[in-house]
Amino acid sequence: MLLLLLTTLAVTAASASTPATSAADVMFWIGMGPGDASWNKTAQAALNFSLSKWGRPPSSVDDTGAAKNRPTVSFSPFQIPYVVNTAAGASPLVQIVEPPWSSNQTAGFASLLPLRKLGKIIVPIVLGGLTAGSYNPCNPDTNSTCLAELTQFLISPARRTAAAKELVALATTHGFSGWNFDEEWHGTLSATGRSSNALTSGWRSFLQGLATEMAAVDPHSTVSVDICGCGGDIPLENISTVEDYMGMLPQDWKGIGVEAVSMCTYTNASGKPYRQKGKAYDVFDERLACIYNSYGPTIARVGLGQGIPSFNPSVDELKRQLRHVTAANLSKLAVFDLPSLYSSVEWLDIIYDSVAARAALH
């Protein structure tokens, strides 16, 4: 009876008019803590943007036709982590949690003011109970209590609705324009999720409800989810029959007003050929093709990473990745913790030109 009710709710929700995600062309992930350092970094980011093509008047940016195809930008700052606490009796359901680098959040909101003048603020969030008060959410694959709490949350329309309303209220109070569920760190439900239609249906309903509630108060809001990777091992498969971490299939993401961010695409060691069964593969190309074929350019956002010590931080590598994204017929980017916000106007101009040139094709 419960399964029938959940299925009916999912069908009803899917048939409702859900506003599409109003996504910026590029989402910059910014890893910084609160306090004076955060002020300095956001101020430096604002300065670099003002000096780059992102900050110039449209009439002065004409080398790529960007005056009429001006890219848009949003920011997702790591210094303000939230969790939807699925533990029974949690109140409020949405809580700000202590990040691993600092216990001081007092400057977190105020320090974002310079970035708000440049683009939307999309705040990171995770779904799931906490483990011993830690920022890392519990893993439902290895923690039976976590799985039980998550299940009870997702199958409860009342608790899903309450959490969505709390998220909307927080966004309205603090001037956020959306939420990005940082779920690739959540652990996977691939072993249990697809065998439980209740989990998949509840997750879809929760995301769709949140997207609808956010759009009602902010038509330019965004709700996105980090799905991490695509297609399993190389050579990759289109994942129409392979579940992701939440027991979701690509078609489950369609029609709910949410975009899927494939943040596990950003290893730029992928420029080296990968050999399997006597054939050489470009890992990055394989993943991009999988994302396009599985999700399509409307739902999918490609994650790129540059500010990670083990990655190649060169301008040539950035250009290589952007060329491949364009060739894959994709355009929306999530750029992880790159140094350009703090040190390189050149990087910002390269990203701007690539996205503007892509927009000019349509």
Helix (H, G, I), strand (E, B), or coil: what is residue 224? strand
Read off the tokens for 204. Answer: 């879809």
- Residue 16 included in any domain: no
User: Element (H or E) spanning 122, and its range?
Assistant: strand 120-127
C-alpha triplet 260, 262, 266: angle, nearest 5°? 155
Q: For residues 355 and 64, what is the distance between their CA atoms, to the nearest angstrom?
A: 10
Q: What average pLDDT does this structure show over 192-219? A: 83
User: Element (H or E) spanning 347, and its range?
Assistant: helix 345-360
Please report which confidence band the pLDDT of residue 206 belongs to, taking 50, 70 and 90 as the band edges: very high
Measured CA to CA in angstroms, residue 95 lies from 84, 116, 161, 280, 342 at distances of 7, 22, 16, 47, 30
Question: Residue 193: its pLDDT value, please?
Answer: 44
From 6-15, 213-222, 268-277, 305-314, the region with the lowest mean pLDDT: 6-15
| pLDDT for residue 36 is more than 60 | no
Question: Residue 272: its pLDDT value, please?
Answer: 63
pTM: 0.83
Question: Residue 160: its pLDDT value, please?
Answer: 95
Range of the domain at 114: 23-56+66-360
Question: Residue 9: its pLDDT value, please?
Answer: 38
The DSSP bridge pattern shows strands 120-127 and 300-305 to be: unpaired
- Of residues 136 and 128, the one with the higher pLDDT is 128
Q: Which residue, chain included where needed, has tokens 């509840």?
A: 202
The 3-state secondary structure of 26-58 reads EEEEECCCCCHHHHHHHHHHHHHHHHCCCCCCH
User: Element (H or E) spanning 211, and its range?
Assistant: helix 197-217
- Residue 1 included in any domain: no
Q: What average pLDDT does this structure show over 142-153? A: 82
- Residue 17: DSSP 8-state: -
Question: Residue 157: its pLDDT value, please?
Answer: 96
- Amino acid 54 reads W
- Residue 18 included in any domain: no
Q: What average pLDDT does this structure show over 337-358? A: 80
- Residue 313: DSSP 8-state: -
Nearest to 50 by CA among 357, 358, 354, 348: 348
Q: What average pLDDT does this structure show over 306-313? A: 61
Nearest to 78 by CA among 99, 95, 94, 96: 99
Please report which confidence band the pLDDT of residue 13 belongs to, taking 50, 70 and 90 as the band edges: very low
- Of residues 290 and 184, the one with the higher pLDDT is 290
Please report which confidence band the pLDDT of residue 211 belongs to, taking 50, 70 and 90 as the band edges: very high
| pLDDT for residue 68 is more than 50 | yes
Q: What average pLDDT does this structure show over 86-92? A: 87
CB count in 10 Å sphere of residue 219: 9
- Residue 318 included in any domain: yes
The DSSP bridge pattern shows strands 82-84 and 94-96 to be: antiparallel
Question: Residue 235: its pLDDT value, please?
Answer: 65
| pLDDT for residue 303 is more than 80 | yes
| Mean pLDDT, the chain, integer | 75
Read off the tokens for 81. Answer: 């982590």
CATH number at residue 82: 3.20.20.80
- Residue 167 included in any domain: yes
Nearest to 116 by CA among 35, 51, 30: 30
Residues 243-256: tens digit of each pLDDT: 766 677 888 888 89
Please report which confidence band the pLDDT of residue 172 belongs to, taking 50, 70 and 90 as the band edges: very high
- Residue 354 included in any domain: yes
- Of residues 136 and 29, the one with the higher pLDDT is 29
Please report which confidence band the pLDDT of residue 166 belongs to, taking 50, 70 and 90 as the band edges: very high
Question: Residue 30: its pLDDT value, please?
Answer: 74
Nearest to 224 by CA among 188, 249, 260, 182: 260
What is the domain count for the chain?
1
Question: Residue 8: its pLDDT value, please?
Answer: 37
- Residue 3 included in any domain: no
Q: For residues 225 and 207, what is the distance between their CA atoms, to the nearest angstrom?
A: 9
- Of residues 293 and 3, the one with the higher pLDDT is 293
pLDDT above 90 coverage of the chain, percent: 17
Please report which confidence band the pLDDT of residue 189 belongs to, taking 50, 70 and 90 as the band edges: low
Q: Which positions ≥6 away from 31 have C-beta within 8 Å? A: 78, 307, 337
Question: Residue 240: its pLDDT value, please?
Answer: 65
- Residue 15 included in any domain: no
Nearest to 205 by CA among 145, 265, 252: 252
Query: For residue 168, with 0-12 CB atoms within 10 Å meaning exposed, 13-18 middle and 19 or more buried, which class applies?
Result: buried
Question: Residue 258: its pLDDT value, please?
Answer: 92
Q: What average pLDDT does this structure show over 49-68? A: 67
